[in-house]
Chains A and B, each alone.
Chain A
Amino acid sequence: MKLAGWGRFPVMDAQVYVPRDLAGIQQLVASKPSVIARGCGRAYGDSAINSSATIDMRRLNRMLAFDPKTGQLIAEAGVVLSDIIAAFLPRGWFPTVTPGTKFVTLGGMIAADVHGKNHRKHGSFRRCVDWIDVMGADGTIQRCSREGHVELFEHTLGGMGLTGIIIRAAVRLRTIETGWIRQTTIPAPNLESAMTALERAHGSTYSVAWIDCLGAGINLGRSLVFLGEHANSPDLPAHRSLHPFTTPDKRKLSLPFNFPCFALNRFSLRAFNTLYYWAGAWNRGEKLVDWDSFFYPLDAIAAWHRLYGRKGFAQFQCALPLNRSEEGLRALLQTVSKARAGSFLAVLKRFGPQESRFSFPMEGYSLALDFPITTKTSGLLANLEQITIDHGGRFYLAKDSRMSAETLRASDGRVESFVRMRADSGWKNSFQSAQAERLVL
């Protein structure tokens, strides 16, 4: 069948299998030239596509054990985050680290070692993983952790499925008192003030900035900075405190068809961005928002990726080291603004320190942008890549769909040891994605 990631580019022909049990997976690993695991397909590009055998893991979706003393949940890799939240939020537990969509699998979160708006304070997903069971090329399963099979553990986190099939894992949830977030909105007229606001927010659990990419000149980097804390019971108004985990049901908006490409022209985008900024500025200060709106605003619009039309779109996400961040971000934003290829969503996050062999984050700043695929996009992305490399930054493989193997190597000194590890451990022949082929991993 035709298969693509969330960005709907590239689209490839691939054999997809949906095994019901371990034996089914073992049989595929043994009989196919190579395989790759796939979760919800929320990675933007070709990370979860293998033309000869893509293994959809979503039937392995049982929650196996939960320890209310430690918050440790043991679950199979195909369990979806939204189901974890549905089961545990009403009992006062929440994921320690969550990406910006809840429609991802446990396996996908581990493979990409995802980060949330609390990376600075709580690190990447790795931080809440106690152990992982990984199926290797010979079909046997190894339990890896910080204590045993350490190299497998370290390379599986952020390894994009290239170290084997994640079968199950033990992860820790955190306690919460309510399903609400105290959100503070700070309008920032330019990049410098946005960064200042984020730097000052080092005590905040969650922080993120939305940048209006069309801002130029003195408006360059015009942003809304959002900070968040889990609300405690006393923070809720009386009518909510009786049912602190009940939040209003949102009606789901859906885009049933592809927007024509012109729908996203510069003018509609400008209007949208300006409106958004002023609406945010109007709502400055603190207010209570429910967890779903705070963490997953995009999930409310099913299939929003269709906004970008039939040709799909490309994401660009880089991380820059702290000391080169301001300079690098300024150059990136100037380039985007000049190209007048405004991105709908531009998200700036402050990352804290990161340990791991191949995960994306590094202490500094991360900028995520997306563009519809047009003839111009490719040149623009090449420019952005060069600026990132020049400033010592690197790229997020979960968002990548078009980078070259050379670009990756120029940006990331860890690639060679990852590749060597794959060859030495026998992973290379058995676990292969279209992305890994493109990037020669």
Chain B
Amino acid sequence: MAHKFAAHGHPIQLAARQSKKLDAEKANLQIRYGVPVTLHEFDALLPETHAEFLAMLPELPAIAVSIVGMMGSQEGSERDYLLASCIMRSNFEGPANILSLLANRFEERGSGTLVGLSSVAGERGRATNYVYGSAKAGFTAFLSGLRNRLAKRGVHVVTVLPGYVATEATESIHLPARLTAQPSEVAERIVVAVERKKNVIYVRPVWRLIMLIIRLIPEAVFKRIRI
């Protein structure tokens, strides 16, 4: 994601836990694209630190992308409320909180774009990942509300609903190739969506159709199928 934006000439601020480990990536981005890159310590699970995090940034970014998320184990979270809570907070509370703070600053400034990585898993709860899915559902609704609020304020909000993406989180799962995007593909779509002020994007268009069908299945039927 940072590569695609840097390639378009944007200066980059990378926020992460243990941001020190991104030193090499910082050098890589600077050398490849000749843009300034800074690293910032950020933990989505510590919302009380977010205001200070924002205050420490060298400048308010033009575009902010929230990638933070956590798949976690569905089975585990059925038994362990701490894990369930962590999944919910990582996918919803944390990202929503930082985007909220950014939204206020962008609104003051009268410009900016916010991007949230949610998931098609939030479109309908399924037995195999409803803890994660419900958090993403909350986040999707949050982004939609934020967009609605800021539409007349010069601030744009993009909701990204990737289908399968081949990343570290999904490395051990076998994903159907046709439905699975590469991270660079997701990034490319997001850059375009930001430029064209798209509202909600599915990375591969086929997912829009798949999710339409999944949403249309009557609950009486849906509850009996394994999907």
A338 at the interface (CB under 8 A from B): no
Closest A residue by C-beta to B7: A86
Q: Are A64 and B168 in contact, with the CB atoms below 8 A?
A: no
B24 at the interface (CB under 8 A from A): yes
Residues of chain A within 8 A of B168, CB atoms compared: 20
Q: Are A87 and B33 in contact, with the CB atoms below 8 A?
A: yes
**Whole-angstrom distance between the Cβ of A86 and the nearest chain B Cβ:** 8
Residues of chain A within 8 A of B33, CB atoms compared: 87
**Whole-angstrom distance between the Cβ of B189 and the nearest chain A Cβ:** 21
Residues of chain A within 8 A of B27, CB atoms compared: 62-65
Q: Are B34 and A63 in contact, with the CB atoms below 8 A?
A: no
Q: Are A87 and B24 in contact, with the CB atoms below 8 A?
A: no
Q: Are B34 and A62 in contact, with the CB atoms below 8 A?
A: no
A83 at the interface (CB under 8 A from B): yes
Closest A residue by C-beta to B33: A87
Residues of chain B within 8 A of A65, CB atoms compared: 27, 31
Scoring B residues 174 to 189 as 1 if CB is less than 8 Å from chain A, else 0, what string do you get? 0000000000000000
B25 at the interface (CB under 8 A from A): yes
Q: Are B34 and A66 in contact, with the CB atoms below 8 A?
A: no
B32 at the interface (CB under 8 A from A): yes
Residues of chain A within 8 A of B28, CB atoms compared: 62-64
Complex CA gap A62/B23 in Å reads 11
Chain B residues numbered 166-218 whose CB sits less than 8 Å from any CB in chain A: 168
Residues of chain B within 8 A of A64, CB atoms compared: 24, 27-28, 31
**Whole-angstrom distance between the Cβ of B141 and the nearest chain A Cβ:** 33
Scoring A residues 239 to 251 as 1 if CB is less than 8 Å from chain B, else 0, what string do you get? 0000000000000
Residues of chain B within 8 A of A62, CB atoms compared: 24-25, 27-28
Scoring A residues 314 to 349 as 1 if CB is less than 8 Å from chain B, else 0, what string do you get? 000000000000000000000000000000000000
Residues of chain A within 8 A of B31, CB atoms compared: 63-66, 73, 87
Residues of chain B within 8 A of A63, CB atoms compared: 27-28, 31-32
Residues of chain A within 8 A of B24, CB atoms compared: 62, 64
Residues of chain B within 8 A of A66, CB atoms compared: 31
Closest A residue by C-beta to B168: A20
Closest A residue by C-beta to B27: A64
Scoring A residues 85 to 98 as 1 if CB is less than 8 Å from chain B, else 0, what string do you get? 01100010000000
Residues of chain A within 8 A of B25, CB atoms compared: 62
Scoring A residues 62 to 86 as 1 if CB is less than 8 Å from chain B, else 0, what string do you get? 1111100000010000000001001
Scoring A residues 243 to 277 as 1 if CB is less than 8 Å from chain B, else 0, what string do you get? 00000000000000000000000000000000000
Residues of chain B within 8 A of A73, CB atoms compared: 31
Complex CA gap A239/B157 in Å reads 42
**Whole-angstrom distance between the Cβ of B119 and the nearest chain A Cβ:** 22
Complex CA gap A73/B25 in Å reads 15
Complex CA gap A247/B151 in Å reads 41
**Whole-angstrom distance between the Cβ of A1 and the nearest chain B Cβ:** 12
Closest A residue by C-beta to B34: A91
Most chain A Cβ neighbours within 10 Å, of B25, B32, B33, B34:
B32
Chain A residues numbered 17-43 whose CB sits less than 8 Å from any CB in chain B: 20
Most chain B Cβ neighbours within 10 Å, of A62, A65, A83, A86:
A62
**Whole-angstrom distance between the Cβ of B24 and the nearest chain A Cβ:** 5
**Whole-angstrom distance between the Cβ of A411 and the nearest chain B Cβ:** 41
Complex CA gap A86/B168 in Å reads 27
Complex CA gap A63/B24 in Å reads 8
Residues of chain B within 8 A of A20, CB atoms compared: 168
**Whole-angstrom distance between the Cβ of A143 and the nearest chain B Cβ:** 17
Scoring B residues 16 to 41 as 1 if CB is less than 8 Å from chain A, else 0, what string do you get? 00000000110110011110000000
Complex CA gap A62/B32 in Å reads 9
Closest B residue by C-beta to A18: B171
Residues of chain B within 8 A of A91, CB atoms compared: 34
**Whole-angstrom distance between the Cβ of B165 and the nearest chain A Cβ:** 15
Complex CA gap A86/B33 in Å reads 9
**Whole-angstrom distance between the Cβ of B158 and the nearest chain A Cβ:** 27
Residues of chain B within 8 A of A87, CB atoms compared: 31-34
Closest B residue by C-beta to A83: B32
Complex CA gap A365/B24 in Å reads 42
**Whole-angstrom distance between the Cβ of B198 and the nearest chain A Cβ:** 26
Complex CA gap A65/B27 in Å reads 7
Residues of chain B within 8 A of A86, CB atoms compared: 32
Complex CA gap A69/B168 in Å reads 38
Complex CA gap A62/B22 in Å reads 11
Complex CA gap A73/B27 in Å reads 12
**Whole-angstrom distance between the Cβ of B49 and the nearest chain A Cβ:** 28
Complex CA gap A20/B28 in Å reads 15
Residues of chain A within 8 A of B32, CB atoms compared: 63, 83, 86-87
Complex CA gap A62/B168 in Å reads 18
Most chain A Cβ neighbours within 10 Å, of B27, B31, B168:
B31
Complex CA gap A322/B4 in Å reads 49
Closest A residue by C-beta to B31: A63
Q: List 12 A-B contacts (CB under 8 A).
A: A20-B168, A62-B27, A63-B31, A63-B32, A64-B28, A65-B31, A66-B31, A73-B31, A83-B32, A86-B32, A87-B31, A87-B33
Chain B residues in the interface with A (C-beta under 8 A): 24-25, 27-28, 31-34, 168
Shortest 4 CB-CB contacts between residues of A and residues of B: A62-B28, A63-B31, A87-B32, A66-B31
Given A20-B168, A62-B25, 12 other A-B contacts at CB below 8 A?
Answer: A62-B27, A62-B28, A63-B31, A63-B32, A64-B24, A64-B28, A65-B27, A83-B32, A86-B32, A87-B31, A87-B33, A91-B34
